[in-house]
């Protein structure tokens, strides 16, 4: 009985030590994250980008947190080093596939570098995961249209139309010329008439009532 008591007590102590260790590790990780981002941000605001990037590199060696990597990418882009920012974003996509911010930033940096085909590919992949992101779909539609890929541009314009995004850009791609003129003039899109109020020009299929002879 005593042996069992000491075994259970030892197990409880080990569990408590593990819990305290985890809490301490979490606290240390949060401290590394906060202090590194604060310091790197201060360097960036002062225009000392190399030092800011060095802070993120040292922090990453201690803590592989997606926020460190993402902020490093933004810092690289801020000082015009887009090619490096793109590589960091690709690393982020691979390491943290559920963090959509890496994919969005990657597409933006690719567009800035005029790597439009790669940008469109990235936007297509984002929209598979986030199909109702009308802002990115509109961006993709415009890029495809400008490149002359009319079929793909119309596909995304149709999706936007079905999702309720009706503006000059989608109407232009879909070649709805009359509606495009209305929107260009800044007028509201006319509401469709209810079906029951639409009168058909075709003759009615109902039998006309026969004239009746008045009784004398």
Tokens of 102: 């890496």
Tokens of 187: 């007028």
Residue 52 has a pLDDT of: 95
Q: What pLDDT digit, counting tens, does each position of 19-63 carry?
A: 434 345 567 788 888 988 999 999 999 999 999 999 999 999 999
Q: State the Cα–Cα distance between residues 135 and 141, nearest whole angstrom.
A: 10
- Map out the domains of the chain with their CATH numbers: 22-115 (1.25.40.10), 131-188 (no CATH)
Q: pTM for this structure?
A: 0.70
Strands (E) located in 46-153: none
Residue 205 is given by DSSP the state S
Residue 29 has a pLDDT of: 80
Residue 141 has a pLDDT of: 96
Residue 172 has a pLDDT of: 87
Q: State the Cα–Cα distance between residues 71 and 84, nearest whole angstrom.
A: 13
Q: State the Cα–Cα distance between residues 66 and 85, nearest whole angstrom.
A: 14
Q: State the Cα–Cα distance between residues 161 and 163, nearest whole angstrom.
A: 5
């Amino acid at each position: 009985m005593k042996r069992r008591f000491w075994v259970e007590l030892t197990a409880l102590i080990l569990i408590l030590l593990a819990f305290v260790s985890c809490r301490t590790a979490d606290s240390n990780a949060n401290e590394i994250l906060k202090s590194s981002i604060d310091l790197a941000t201060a360097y960036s605001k002062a225009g000392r980008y190399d030092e800011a990037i060095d802070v993120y590199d040292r922090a990453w060696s201690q803590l592989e947190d997606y926020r460190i990597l993402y902020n490093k990418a933004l810092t690289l882009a801020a000082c015009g080093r887009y090619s490096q920012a793109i590589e960091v974003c690709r690393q982020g996509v691979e390491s943290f596939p559920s963090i959509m911010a890496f994919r969005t930033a990657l597409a933006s940096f690719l567009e800035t570098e005029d790597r439009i085909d790669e940008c469109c590919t990235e936007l297509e992949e984002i929209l598979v995961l986030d199909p109702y992101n009308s802002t990115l779909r509109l961006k993709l539609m415009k890029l495809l249209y400008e490149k002359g890929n009319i079929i793909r541009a119309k596909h995304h314009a149709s999706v936007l139309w079905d999702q309720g995004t009706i503006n000059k850009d989608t109407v232009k791609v879909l070649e709805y010329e009359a509606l495009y003129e209305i929107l260009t003039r800044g007028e509201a899109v006319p509401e469709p008439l209810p079906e029951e109020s639409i009168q058909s020009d075709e003759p009615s299929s109902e039998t006309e009532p026969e004239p009746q002879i008045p009784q004398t």
